[in-house]
Chain A
């Protein structure tokens, strides 16, 4: 039972990070019908920005601001940095290709992903960067927390999960309850018709990239707070994020959250009960099963092809 609770907590933490990444995919796909391969690398850059700002603020062993402010500041820095990056990627790598055949922006996105990964390696090297959150206030983030039976839910995990859910709620609010969100939904539904109704499509797309990249930045920081980050995490994180988006139904916001959590649980339980080595295989099987039996995902609408 204890193992089960522990694995559930692990799955929830992992899943909320996947969900944040998946939301970025889903948003961009919903509006542009484009699979943004570079999204995983934006996530990676986010975790590096967090690390850099953390060092500027004195590192974890001797921070110049209180802990809560530290975490808020590095998250904000990652949000801002990633948004700028996302907008730049959209403006220079995708916008010129908006009317090209479908395969063109995909290849361009591959190039962007490769470029970002190697640029980061050129500038910061391949060695892992550890946030070293354990030395923050003598390990308070790990030692304090809530006890569930014999298992302790540490503060750090609570922070990760709560931040992820707050972000998702904010996003949901933004998309369903504001004018910009309405414009986004309209663009996603039918771009040309939305443009004829006077919606500025370019602005909506930029806004979408800002949202998606900001979430990737948050995910990057949340990831970095728990495990050391390096320049290659973007590739696998991107794959998992997209898988989560597909499972939930691409284009659907609650779907991406559900997909991320399912993926997190699946991975965590496989690692706990089967083997750590084969969790990728299991995730792949889930993806294939969904692709075959329910390609529209859990919450997606079936795509009707019009001629």
Chain B
């Protein structure tokens, strides 16, 4: 999928499209017309219409449960679709509206809880599925509208903190509302159980089929995704979509052009909230339960990483971001796969930094030799220093190179971790030649910390990786993978 920008296909001879700065247009052309075979391939790929990409993507993705029968993989695929939906919704507020909404996850929670209220034994209400989902979306959009109200007067940082506080408040409310004047509203920390599954075409959708995650929810979610994607695409190219983007670029100029800035802000909040709430109903119906802690800071960061990585503002981009980050988080759970990813990232990083040059060779050979020397030294000192757990396969090979002590003294993790951080940050500051010399021990220290400290608690390690991705992206490539590069016009 590519988000073909409005100025995608015309040549400079046509002049820029209406409403577009000439310099910006030429800037875009410049980027488009890359030479060589790669450039012509890219140009040809851009001619493929967006709906063809979408259909291709949906077809390939819907084949996944057919090819792969493991319940785990299907479940991850389903979660990834939910992530894609959430990313699309957040993209409306952050990518198009340019408003930093940190309460977004609470709206997802509002959706899940609303669905649970109107379709479970909590209040004895069991609405038919379609009506329940409709109610959820309307309630979600309304809460989004309320959350957006402060945005009329606040911008940037203030709005961010108010919405973040809203997230905290949502937590407090859901956790403590199990005893409001003696009434149990939300089940408190224990959540709401036995939420109705979706009931479509006269059948309850089964979560499990013969003990394996059933595919029905996956296809429902995928269908919802397709509808939302197409609808949002039309919205993006409508008057409202254009108005949102002008709002993002310069609220003051937009207002001067007579745009109803406040209404546009509220609209983008409501649209984002509606998508989040819709996703929330899917989530609640599948899990048949909702708990307050699902909708908290961690999920917020996960979705932000997806949107930023893919490129905020680009629909295809944020979907791509969700497709990368969702499975990545699952892969990192498994130390074996996480290890492969880590070393691939290390090698990729060196290749990316120095390309195909003599430096690459020196650094890689140097690191490998350095590692073996350290390993020999450590084992000569004491056998227990290298007697760490040895797994088979890749892990076994790595254990001959990285020092993995049988028992880690408690001072080692903090010192090596902080040392690694300090070294890595210092490397960006110092002279090139010194950097090359220091790079070898840094790489080795990274491997040491990874094997001994990070892999010891994969749950936490995953989030650290997310944090690093987020900071690194903002500094190195704020427009993400597919986002439009912002051109500053002064």
Hey, which bits of chain A sit against chain B, CB under 8 A?
29, 33-35, 88, 91-93, 96-97, 100-108, 110-112, 114-115, 118-119, 121-124, 235-236, 239, 242-243, 246, 277-278, 280-281, 284, 287-288, 291-292, 295, 305, 307
A242 and B161 contact, Cβ closer than 8 Å, known pairs A100-B478, A111-B474, A122-B453: yes
- Give the contacting residue for B470; candidates A91, A111, A119, A284; CB below 8 A: A111
A-B contact pairs, 24 of them (CB 8 A): A35-B157, A88-B425, A92-B428, A96-B475, A101-B478, A102-B156, A103-B98, A103-B156, A104-B474, A106-B160, A110-B301, A111-B469, A111-B470, A122-B457, A123-B414, A239-B164, A277-B172, A278-B176, A281-B172, A281-B173, A287-B162, A292-B150, A295-B153, A307-B252
What is the minimal beta-carbon distance from B253 to any residue of chain A, in angstroms?
Answer: 9
What is the minimal beta-carbon distance from A175 to any residue of chain B, in angstroms?
Answer: 21
What is the minimal beta-carbon distance from A282 to any residue of chain B, in angstroms?
Answer: 11
A123 and B413 contact, Cβ closer than 8 Å, known pairs A92-B425, A280-B169: yes
CB pair B162–A291 under 8 Å, yes or no, is yes
Among residues 390 to 428 in chain B, which have CB atoms less than 8 Å away from a CB atom of chain A?
413-414, 417, 425, 428
Hey, which bits of chain B sit against chain A, CB under 8 A?
94, 98, 100, 102, 150, 153-154, 156-158, 160-162, 164-166, 168-169, 172-173, 176, 252, 297, 301, 304, 308, 413-414, 417, 425, 428, 453-454, 457, 460-461, 463-464, 466-471, 474-475, 478, 486
CB pair A291–B153 under 8 Å, yes or no, is yes
CB pair B158–A291 under 8 Å, yes or no, is yes
- Give the contacting residue for B157; candidates A34, A97, A239; CB below 8 A: A34
What is the minimal beta-carbon distance from A119 to any residue of chain B, in angstroms?
Answer: 6
- Give the contacting residue for A115; candidates B100, B464, B478; CB below 8 A: B464
CB pair A115–B471 under 8 Å, yes or no, is yes
What is the minimal beta-carbon distance from A124 to any residue of chain B, in angstroms?
Answer: 8
- Give the contacting residue for A239; candidates B168, B460, B471; CB below 8 A: B168
In the assembled complex, the Cα of A236 lies from the Cα of B474 at a distance in Å of 24
Determine the chain B residues whose CB is within 8 A of the CB of A106 once the complex forms.
100, 156-157, 160
Determine the chain A residues whose CB is within 8 A of the CB of B453 once the complex forms.
122-123
CB pair A107–B308 under 8 Å, yes or no, is yes
CB pair A114–B160 under 8 Å, yes or no, is no
A92-B428, A107-B304, A115-B471 known; 6 new pairs, CB 8 Å cut-off, are A33-B157, A102-B157, A106-B100, A110-B102, A121-B460, A239-B165
Determine the chain B residues whose CB is within 8 A of the CB of A242 once the complex forms.
161
CB pair B150–A291 under 8 Å, yes or no, is yes
Determine the chain A residues whose CB is within 8 A of the CB of B161 once the complex forms.
35, 239, 242-243, 246
In the assembled complex, the Cα of A100 lies from the Cα of B478 at a distance in Å of 9
Determine the chain A residues whose CB is within 8 A of the CB of B414 once the complex forms.
123-124
Closest to B486 in A: A101
Determine the chain B residues whose CB is within 8 A of the CB of A91 once the complex forms.
425
CB pair A235–B297 under 8 Å, yes or no, is yes
CB pair B158–A246 under 8 Å, yes or no, is yes
Which has the most chain A C-beta neighbours within 10 Å: B161, B168, B176, B301? Answer: B161
The prevalent SS among residues of A at the interface is helix
Determine the chain A residues whose CB is within 8 A of the CB of B169 once the complex forms.
280-281, 284
CB pair A288–B164 under 8 Å, yes or no, is no
What is the minimal beta-carbon distance from A238 to any residue of chain B, in angstroms?
Answer: 9
Determine the chain A residues whose CB is within 8 A of the CB of B252 once the complex forms.
305, 307
Determine the chain B residues whose CB is within 8 A of the CB of A110 once the complex forms.
102, 301, 304, 470
Closest to B157 in A: A35
Determine the chain A residues whose CB is within 8 A of the CB of B467 once the complex forms.
111-112, 114-115, 118
Determine the chain A residues whose CB is within 8 A of the CB of B102 once the complex forms.
110
CB pair B425–A122 under 8 Å, yes or no, is no
Determine the chain A residues whose CB is within 8 A of the CB of B176 once the complex forms.
277-278
CB pair A108–B464 under 8 Å, yes or no, is no
What is the minimal beta-carbon distance from B105 to any residue of chain A, in angstroms?
Answer: 13
What is the minimal beta-carbon distance from A239 to any residue of chain B, in angstroms?
Answer: 6
What is the minimal beta-carbon distance from B321 to any residue of chain A, in angstroms?
Answer: 13
What 3 A-B pairs come out closest when comparing CB atoms?
A: A115-B467, A111-B470, A35-B157
In the assembled complex, the Cα of A115 lies from the Cα of B176 at a distance in Å of 29
CB pair B470–A108 under 8 Å, yes or no, is yes
Determine the chain A residues whose CB is within 8 A of the CB of B168 once the complex forms.
235-236, 239, 280, 284
What is the minimal beta-carbon distance from B258 to any residue of chain A, in angstroms?
Answer: 16
Determine the chain A residues whose CB is within 8 A of the CB of B478 once the complex forms.
97, 100-101, 104
- Give the contacting residue for B162; candidates A33, A96, A121, A288; CB below 8 A: A288
What is the minimal beta-carbon distance from A188 to any residue of chain B, in angstroms?
Answer: 15
CB pair B471–A112 under 8 Å, yes or no, is yes
What is the minimal beta-carbon distance from A263 to any residue of chain B, in angstroms?
Answer: 12
Determine the chain B residues whose CB is within 8 A of the CB of A29 once the complex forms.
157
- Give the contacting residue for B475; candidates A35, A97, A287, A305; CB below 8 A: A97
Determine the chain B residues whose CB is within 8 A of the CB of A288 once the complex forms.
150, 162
A119 and B304 contact, Cβ closer than 8 Å, known pairs A35-B160, A97-B474: no
Closest to B456 in A: A122
In the assembled complex, the Cα of A288 lies from the Cα of B151 at a distance in Å of 11
In the assembled complex, the Cα of A280 lies from the Cα of B252 at a distance in Å of 34
In the assembled complex, the Cα of A111 lies from the Cα of B464 at a distance in Å of 9
- Give the contacting residue for B471; candidates A93, A236, A295, A305; CB below 8 A: A93
A108 and B471 contact, Cβ closer than 8 Å, known pairs A284-B165, A288-B150, A291-B162: yes
A114 and B157 contact, Cβ closer than 8 Å, known pairs A104-B478, A235-B297: no
CB pair B464–A105 under 8 Å, yes or no, is no
Closest to B99 in A: A103
Determine the chain B residues whose CB is within 8 A of the CB of A114 once the complex forms.
297, 301, 463, 466-467, 470
Which has the most chain A C-beta neighbours within 10 Å: B165, B464, B474, B486? Answer: B474
Closest to B172 in A: A280
CB pair B464–A295 under 8 Å, yes or no, is no
In the assembled complex, the Cα of A103 lies from the Cα of B474 at a distance in Å of 10
Closest to B417 in A: A123
Determine the chain A residues whose CB is within 8 A of the CB of B475 once the complex forms.
93, 96-97, 108
CB pair B100–A103 under 8 Å, yes or no, is yes
Determine the chain A residues whose CB is within 8 A of the CB of B428 once the complex forms.
92
Determine the chain B residues whose CB is within 8 A of the CB of A284 once the complex forms.
165-166, 168-169
Determine the chain A residues whose CB is within 8 A of the CB of B153 once the complex forms.
291-292, 295
In the assembled complex, the Cα of A108 lies from the Cα of B468 at a distance in Å of 9
In the assembled complex, the Cα of A18 lies from the Cα of B100 at a distance in Å of 25
What is the minimal beta-carbon distance from B472 to any residue of chain A, in angstroms?
Answer: 8
What is the minimal beta-carbon distance from B460 to any residue of chain A, in angstroms?
Answer: 4
Determine the chain A residues whose CB is within 8 A of the CB of B160 once the complex forms.
35, 106
Closest to A245 in B: B161
In the assembled complex, the Cα of A223 lies from the Cα of B304 at a distance in Å of 31
